[in-house]
Structure 1
Amino acid sequence: MPLYKTITVNSQTTVKIWKITESYDDLLAPLDLKPRSLERVLGMRSELHQRGFLSVRHLLRDFGYTDQDLFYDDNGKPHLKDGKKISITHSFTFSGVIISDKEVGIDIEKQRDKIARIASKFIDYEFQYLQKTSDCYTRRLTVIWGIKESLYKLFATPGMLFKEHFLVIPFMINDDATVAWIDYEDRKYRYEALFLEFEDFTCAYVVA
């Protein structure tokens, strides 16, 4: 399937989402991967992960980049050679890329009830406004996880913890946006956090 969705966040920031319906061979055939990337994809045991990796390269092409334009730092954070900021995600049958002039992070997650069982591991303050009996409980937990994962990708600093250092301001599912904070080493950082749902998945992204 071609591009699933494009979101123009602002004049400097764009999100593109891909629905992965193609086979591994069909995704690989048109790509020109650098040796390191080919080695990575061939070393993946799961075809689902291989297809996710390759679909991200198709999203790069849609932005006008190639695999050669992408590199990773020592913390695993992706960068583009032209200096634009990028963040990458893939989950099951969807992948996403956000590119901006500003620091960004993105995450896609499948909405699954089991997230409630691990909520106490990544949530503290947010329990004050969540209702466990709400029909939207799982969906709101997924939004919070996605926002915190996006913040982690944006900041890319080892030792940061979702529960202790990231905070998501109260929101409702229909809001499509909220504010998130990083409180780390006596400094506070404020970010705009946006989210959307599609086909039982949640995509969240943050922009500095």
Structure 2
Amino acid sequence: MPLYKTITTPNNSKVLIWKIEESYEELLQGIQLTDNCRTRVASMKSEIHQRGFLSVRHLLKKAGYKASDLFYNSSGKPHLKDGKHISITHSFTFAAIIVSDGVIGIDIEKQRDKIGVIAHKFIDYEFNYLSSDQVRELTVVWCVKESLYKAFATDGMSFKQHTKVIPFEIGEQETTGWIIYNDQLEKYEIKFLEFEGFTCAYAIKSEI
């Protein structure tokens, strides 16, 4: 089974990344799905989404959990029964989870030129520091903002209006993210990495 990368952070968060190389049938092996999981995966029309869903269940197993340990609240945010925080993502041929004692979020996206077409929908302040390598930088910004959105998980939150990504260099693989929503202000430590044409970013809430 292709566990692609494991990252353990100093604050006791763990990131697990899976490269999805197996078939749907192969991914069904070695894990125990709940009845709800079976219903959900059977309802998915795309096989790549089915394989992403099953890959996440393999990542849960690698992290020491069963599929039945995962549940979702009314807003669709995932939780673990032992009280730890979890965030989940998958994109094409990669899936990932992050598990932590604190509030976290994670996202993986494929680097594609078309991100430039939709940039105005999720970027405002960040346009001030983008360089010529915009596909990679925009993908980092998108991943960071998606991670912040998953961490905050509040209805009505806007990527463009309520999140800010502090200027960064691609080679540094870290930055800071802010959520400014009504009277709430939250700061997040951001780490990101690139591999095989994909970008992954994860956000860990920090003290202000």
Give the TM-score normalised by structure 1.
0.97
Q: d(CA) in 1 for partners of 2:33 and 2:56?
A: 12
The answer for the alignment partner of 1:118 in structure 2 is 118
1:202 to 192, 199, 203: 199
Structure 1's consecutive aligned runs of 4 or more residues displaced over 2 angstroms after TM superposition are none
- The one-letter amino acid of 1:150's match is S
In structure 2, what is the equivalent of residue 34 of structure 1? 34
Segments of 5+ residues of structure 1 without an aligned counterpart are: none
Query: Cα RMSD over matched residues?
Result: 0.7
**Structure 2: how far apart are the matches of 1:90 and 1:9?**
21
Paired residue for 1:142?
A: 139
Q: Where does residue 150 of structure 2 map in the other structure?
A: 153
State whether structure 2 residue 59 is matched by structure 1 residue 62.
no
Q: Deviations over 1:103-127 (max 9, x none)?
A: 1000000000000000000000000
Q: Equivalent residues in 2 for 1:1-208 (5 A)?
A: 1-131=1-131, 134=132, 136-208=133-205
Aligned residue identity for 1:57: R
2:31 & 2:100 partners in 1: Cα distance? 23
SS at match of 2:59: helix
Q: TM-score, normalised by structure 2?
A: 0.97
Which residue identity does 1:75 align to in structure 2? S
- In 1, distance between residues paired with 2:166 and 2:29? 44
The structure-2 alpha-carbon separation of the partners of 1:187 and 1:11, relative to structure 1 and needing over 3 Å to count, comes to: closer
Number of aligned residues = 205
Structure 2 gaps, min length 5: none
Q: Which amino acid is 2:28 matched to?
A: L
- Deviation of 1:11 after TM superposition, in Å, equals 4.5
Structure 2: distance between partners of 1:148 and 1:74: 22
SS at match of 2:96: strand
- Mapped to 2, the partners of 1:187 and 1:68 lie a distance apart of 33
Whole-angstrom distance in 2 between the partners of 1:10 and 1:24: 35
For residues 43 and 197 of structure 1, what CA distance do their matches in structure 2 show?
A: 32
SS of the aligned residue for 1:56 comes to: helix
